[in-house]
Amino acid sequence: MKLVTGIGGWPKQASEAARKAEEQGADVVACGELAHDSMLVMTLAAAATERVELQTSVTIAFPRSPMVLAMEAWDIQHLSEGRFSLGLGSQVKGHNERRFGGTWSPPAPRMREYIDMMRAIWGSWQNRTRPEFVGKEYRYTLMSPNFDPGPLEVPFPKVGLAMVGPGMARVGGERADVIMPHGGIMSDRYMREVLLPAIRSGLRSSGRGWSDVEIAATGYLILYDDEKEIEQRMLGMRQTLSFYGSTRTYHKVLELHGLEELGQKLHSLSLQGRWDEMREAVPLDAIAELSQTCRYDDLPEFLAANREYASRLNLAIPVHSEEDRERVADIRRRVQELETPRVPRGLEI
């Protein structure tokens, strides 16, 4: 299983953070896109590393044209000599319209077109195919020699796709190379009952199988050494759940677990700007309902039994002493040696 390490913050920090992650044995360096541009961070990370894979997690697609991201991904793939994965996310309607000043339309079919147009662009650069992609949202019918960067000597960039609902999960199964379930609000039950079946449907409709995609392990997971730590870790998760649970897009997960009222309450508090109260509104029982628990030392066995579909894991374990360092290195090694079947139980194709 590949270990993913996140980097972030100001771009000035990106090179050193990526280099350090590579030296510590990470398989993938990933960056989000909150207050800084993910493509810039990945460019710096690509220049500073030699082995580690690079993945945006995620780059917000719709505020940018497919041509803009196709160009940037092509250049980062060239710079990194084939190590780049462009992880796409749609964001929600309010942010697309009111933060990015863009437009909104049904996100799953739009994302399908977005990915198809990017690959059509890459195909014309790599194979000199005609630019003749015409969709409902996007159109690519012009490519002049001055704007053609030419072919790569490495494969196309991988395309990752983030998802919360079954519509986007189906698109992921149809089109993506890397499946990235939204870790901010996700339960193992929702993953198994909603997302994985939708991914399977997309795979089948496109003539693909589970081996054609890499899936990131997800689901709220509380890691601990002593059981006394569990409640403290749950308290720390209240902020994350309150943030994502306040947005209706993510209420599907809460509803599956009978937590509709919590989602409605968080949404109401957010509309009133009562941000400080939102965290306190999340009861520990809700965290317990959504979460699984595992001791750090038992993590490889837990993953084998509970994340058999996954081939990537974002993992951070605190280190407080030299003894900790050796123990953490052993856990990481055992996780990296783990070979999962990458097929969800009961969802064979």
Q: How far is CA 15 from CA 48, 59, 285, in A?
A: 5, 18, 41
Using one digit for the tens of pLDDT, what is the confidence trace for 290-326? 999 999 999 999 999 999 999 999 998 888 888 889 9
Q: How does the average pLDDT of the chain come out, rounded?
A: 96
- Cis amide linkage into residue 41, ω under 30° from 0: no
d(CA 104, CA 61): 12
Per-residue pLDDT at 86: 98
Q: For every residue of 306-346, which 3-state class applies, written as one string?
A: HCCCCCEEECCCCCCCHHHHHHHHHHHHHHHHCCCCCCCCC
> Rounded to the nearest 10 degrees, what angle do helices 107-127 and 166-175 cross at?
20
CB atoms within 10 A of CB 147: 10
Using one digit for the tens of pLDDT, what is the confidence trace for 110-124? 999 999 999 999 999
Domains present along the chain, CATH in parentheses = 2-223+296-337 (3.20.20.30)
d(CA 104, CA 113): 14
Using one digit for the tens of pLDDT, what is the confidence trace for 329-345? 999 999 999 999 999 99
Using one digit for the tens of pLDDT, what is the confidence trace for 95-106? 999 999 999 999
d(CA 117, CA 111): 10
Six-digit token pair at 267?
Answer: 């949404």
- Span 74-79, mean pLDDT? 98
Q: 3-state DSSP: the chain helix, strand, coil percent, rounded to 5? A: 50, 15, 35
Is residue 89 helix, strand or coil? strand
